[in-house]
Chain A
């Protein structure tokens, strides 16, 4: 993983270090530390990944239905396979979950100020959110406020949305029996209290387990590189990185925004294998950003913590939050997240 040529970077042992020597020595050490830090996650991730592209199945996707998935912030969880879940029972599940929510709220648990007990729960499938035909259908759970007036049949406001999906989940699908439905990626938008209630119901009903999906700096770098690699007709957002510096007693945040065309230019310059992204390329891409920054500010960004990456394709935060901006690469982004979720489950 270390692309450094050892001969030019051995720190010299002379007692009087010239500033340049110190710089080379320090950089070498930095690189070593970086490699070690990356490896401690022990992710058996492929050293190369396909650049996200449109899935062949995406023609089935109803653009209206998936439009609401974009431009929203989702909190990520990994989910173990659901036991004896059936797509033909969705109406029944709606009813049961509805009753559960009402019961929980009447118990006085997780009541928010001004919250209405009149809610309606809807389960629905979302066609086309999958990688291969083997992937189970994605489905959606929504909590809507019910209109107070009996005469009105209008759907109320959507208070909470959660959706379950599986994109290219073969490695997980192969390991489970027929009774299980694998939808390892769960995304939630709305009040935390609702997420907790829904989670409890699912865990009780299908004997599964939710776990918050954090995204570490290593994976954020991969996302930044892959999303920068995506071909875009026009850019809707600048490419931006946020680092948190572990200095005390005052915290320091460094935000580094680069014009998306310039980010793409750097990427194109380091990219060698068409259609694929390799570990080496990701490292080099990030190193270019680090070295440009270091040239101006003499600060080693690699010694700080990458917390957020944002591009015109999507943005991701280390706390496990994601926002997808581009319809074209929705499946690609979800595929990467599914991979992370599956790794967390296994």
Chain B
């Protein structure tokens, strides 16, 4: 076994948390049952890893086998990458053939749901591919969509785009303004699967009690002052966001170039023709759930602005807004 392959396997296994090790090795399906049984999983990680590498050597693991292990690790740790979304189309576009002078390592792994995981390690004409900074592409073969992990090696982006387009028999590729760590959520948004009713949701409880957390056993002499308003807000929020858990995004970014119009004082910037140039970024561990809670908390009006509520529907979280 090549030394670089051995090193690569060693570093990949070292990344794997102990509680996932057996699962990942089984999914890899490279080491035999017999070999796996010889392993003492209680020993210190250093020695465990060395033992595993020796076993791989016995079986003459190739670079491709190592790459496959890396794919599986990444599948288990999708959230460590940030994913972009590309949409391909047939139609007038460049029919090109290109010549691939650069050395690359390409590996594939198919999963259920018609998804293919592709791993590409990039090299140049003169250097071997760098196995430690690969790009991942998840391609759903029945669809024109591909999800790619944001690569630090930006110069490879056009090459990747071309390769994808050709390989999937399309003619054009466009990067969507959608990006997140959560591949599942991106999928749900892109394929419009996010409005499934949550299974364990109890829809028999009256709206009031469920959402407002009111205690119906409370003294009937105590009333909520603005209960009508609260209910209105709840209703609108529900209509906008639905009853289901929201797909998970971490941010939304808006580039605004709009004129200033104030309700406060008509004279402020009244003569100014130029728009205000603003960049607004919303960040949250779970953006859509946070936005959903704003109106009920009194921090936002209901209905919330369509600029925010359109995110899953328009499949975007990057926007450029100009005055019409």
Contact = CB atoms under 8 A, between A and B. Distances in A.
A48 B299 CA distance: 30
A256 interface: yes
Contacts of B263: 291
A251 B303 contact: no
Nearest to A27: B263
A298 B300 contact: yes
Contacts of B272: 265, 269
How many chain A residues sit at the interface, stated as a range, is 35 or more
B160 interface: no
Contacts of B299: 245-247, 299-300, 303-304
Nearest to A292: B260
B313 to A, nearest CB: 17
Contacts of A292: 258, 260, 262, 276, 278
Interface string A288-311: 100111011111100110000000
A17 B228 CA distance: 10
Interface in B128-179: none
A32 interface: no
B264 A288 contact: yes
A87 interface: no
B284 A258 contact: no
A257 interface: yes
Nearest to A254: B282
B304 interface: yes
Contacts of B291: 252
B269 A250 contact: no
A287 interface: yes
Given A270-B268, A296-B305, A257 B298 contact: no
B18 interface: no
Given A287-B264, A296-B256, A296-B321, A252 B278 contact: no
Interface in B267-324: 267-269, 272, 274, 276-287, 289-291, 293-294, 297-301, 303-305, 307-308, 321
Contacts of A257: 278-281
A287 B256 CA distance: 18
A255 B264 CA distance: 23
A252 B287 contact: yes
B261 interface: yes
B276 A262 contact: yes
Contact of B280 (A255, A259, A287, A298): A255
Contacts of A251: 284-285, 290
A287 B289 CA distance: 27
Contacts of B284: 250-253
A262 B260 CA distance: 10
B217 interface: no
B195 to A, nearest CB: 20
Most B C-beta atoms less than 10 A away, residue of A248, A266, A297 = A297
B269 A269 contact: yes
Contact of A265 (B264, B269, B279, B303): B269
A26 interface: yes
Contacts of A140: none
Interface in A243-287: 245-259, 262, 265-266, 269-270, 284, 287
Interface in A207-237: none
Nearest to B298: A303
A151 B12 CA distance: 46
Contacts of B297: 246-247
Most A C-beta atoms less than 10 A away, residue of B265, B267, B276 = B276
A252 B282 contact: yes
A23 interface: yes
B276 A298 contact: no
B283 A252 contact: yes
B283 A250 contact: no
Given A250-B293, A255-B283, A291-B262, A298 B278 contact: no
Most B C-beta atoms less than 10 A away, residue of A250, A259, A300 = A250
Given A262-B277, A296-B307, A26 B301 contact: yes
Given A247-B294, A269-B269, A298-B300, A253 B282 contact: yes
B273 to A, nearest CB: 11
Contact of B300 (A22, A256, A288, A297): A297
A297 B252 CA distance: 12
Contacts of B254: 296
Contacts of B283: 252-255
Nearest to A23: B301
A287 B229 CA distance: 25
A17 B272 CA distance: 35
Nearest to B303: A298
B300 A252 contact: no
A295 B261 contact: yes
A22 B294 CA distance: 17
A222 B260 CA distance: 22
Nearest to A295: B261
Nearest to A245: B299
Nearest to A253: B283
Given A251-B284, A252-B283, A252-B284, A266 B260 contact: yes
Interface of B: 229, 254, 256, 258, 260-265, 267-269, 272, 274, 276-287, 289-291, 293-294, 297-301, 303-305, 307-308, 321
8 contacts: A22-B301, A251-B285, A253-B284, A257-B281, A288-B260, A291-B263, A298-B304, A300-B299
Interface of A: 17, 22-23, 26, 238, 245-259, 262, 265-266, 269-270, 284, 287-288, 291-293, 295-300, 303-304
Given A262-B277, A292-B276, A298-B301, 8 more contacts: A245-B290, A246-B299, A247-B293, A251-B285, A252-B284, A258-B277, A265-B269, A291-B263
